[in-house]
Structure 1
């Protein structure tokens, strides 16, 4: 049987499998056995790579949060004027809300343990700080905080609405918060 040292991608496969299982079954139903089977690795690999299911889930959600922060950065990095930054935020909201259902499910599944468990709450707090830091390169801190909440709320509303509001409504909301 191969060890973790002979299969350098085993840990990443376990993390990817955890996210897949969270999307398909919910965070509460992810188990060591299911995760190992989904990743196509021996059950002992779970113990080799992670101290327990909480460490696996927290690391998987951390990777997901890193991905979303990278999406924020991709949208905001090119903006050089306040108007470009407002348009980048509008684009970001529409990208996130129009993205795969997987992303919507992962965010909502993360909020459940964050409501009950300090390590997950701390992960969400770090994620918010990183998102706001990117927004603060274009807007004052209080405005960045409000925009971060707007992005989250509009993304959720747009993703779940049968008739989501268009770009004009999003652009207007961003403009109101940013004083445009």
Structure 2
């Protein structure tokens, strides 16, 4: 790992992580293999084992890169939220927008959402990914708390997690079944409980 401490080594390591992250988005965890990552990065096959302790180590770095990109987008959406009291419907629309971003009917948006939910499942099998997911989840909770505060609402940690679980459950079901209106499904579920789980302050 000493080579990674040099500028050249750091650049190569970063290229491998970026390539693995792209493969994750395109084909899921099965697409991330030493040979495929090295080829995508334009580096020798041996570089994947030189700069990373294992394939799981490389995958964890790639998952974190994609997760950080997702969180950057979430924070940008929250930063654009105006400070005003919102009713149930506009609060639900806001939460769906903050959590899901662009229309998932666009191929690149759909692939990013699929990769996000694959990451959730993978955490059950890969301990290294759990640490990444816990960090990302804490950041998401913080961003959503801010979005709700800007809407004149509050939510406990437990209730906030239930809100997110509702959206996640709706999206996993809709993506798997090719539901034509997954956001509508998520909105309907949230509308039934938003005033309980995130009441006006």
Q: TM-score, normalization: structure 1?
A: 0.78
Please report how far the alpha carbon of residue 66 of structure 1 lies from its aligned counterpart in structure 2 after TM superposition.
1.2
Which of 165, 168, 171 matches 1:155?
171
Aligned runs of 1:99-110 on 2, under 5 Å? 100-110=109-119
Number of aligned residue pairs: give it.
177
Looking at structure 2, the residues matched to 70 and 135 of structure 1 have their Cα atoms a distance apart, in angstroms, of 13
Please report how far the alpha carbon of residue 96 of structure 1 lies from its aligned counterpart in structure 2 after TM superposition.
5.3
Looking at structure 1, the residues matched to 60 and 46 of structure 2 have their Cα atoms a distance apart, in angstroms, of 19
Q: TM-score, normalization: structure 2?
A: 0.71
Is 1:27 paired with 2:29? Answer: yes
Match of 1:39?
A: 41
Looking at structure 2, the residues matched to 73 and 16 of structure 1 have their Cα atoms a distance apart, in angstroms, of 21
Are the counterparts in 1 of residues 23 and 32 from structure 2 also a CA contact under 8 Å? yes
Which of 17, 20, 27 matches 2:19?
17
Please report how far the alpha carbon of residue 41 of structure 1 lies from its aligned counterpart in structure 2 after TM superposition.
0.9
Please report how far the alpha carbon of residue 111 of structure 1 lies from its aligned counterpart in structure 2 after TM superposition.
3.1
Match of 2:151?
A: none
Change (3 A) 1:135 1:108: closer
Looking at structure 2, the residues matched to 59 and 49 of structure 1 have their Cα atoms a distance apart, in angstroms, of 12
Please report how far the alpha carbon of residue 97 of structure 1 lies from its aligned counterpart in structure 2 after TM superposition.
5.6
Match of 2:84?
A: 81
Supply the RMSD in Å over aligned alpha carbons.
Answer: 2.9
Q: Deviations over 1:57-85 (max 9, x none)?
A: 00110111111222222222224234265
Are the counterparts in 1 of residues 74 and 101 from structure 2 also a CA contact under 8 Å? no
Aligned runs of 1:65-144 on 2, under 5 Å? 65-77=67-79, 78-83=81-86, 85-93=91-99, 95=101, 98=104, 100-137=109-146, 138=148, 139-141=154-156, 142-144=158-160
Aligned runs of 1:45-64 on 2, under 5 Å? 45-64=47-66
Are the counterparts in 2 of residues 75 and 89 from structure 1 also a CA contact under 8 Å? no
Looking at structure 2, the residues matched to 81 and 64 of structure 1 have their Cα atoms a distance apart, in angstroms, of 32
Q: Give secondary structure in 2 for the equivalent of 1:116.
A: coil
Unaligned residue ranges in structure 2 (runs of 5+)? 149-153
Looking at structure 2, the residues matched to 117 and 26 of structure 1 have their Cα atoms a distance apart, in angstroms, of 15
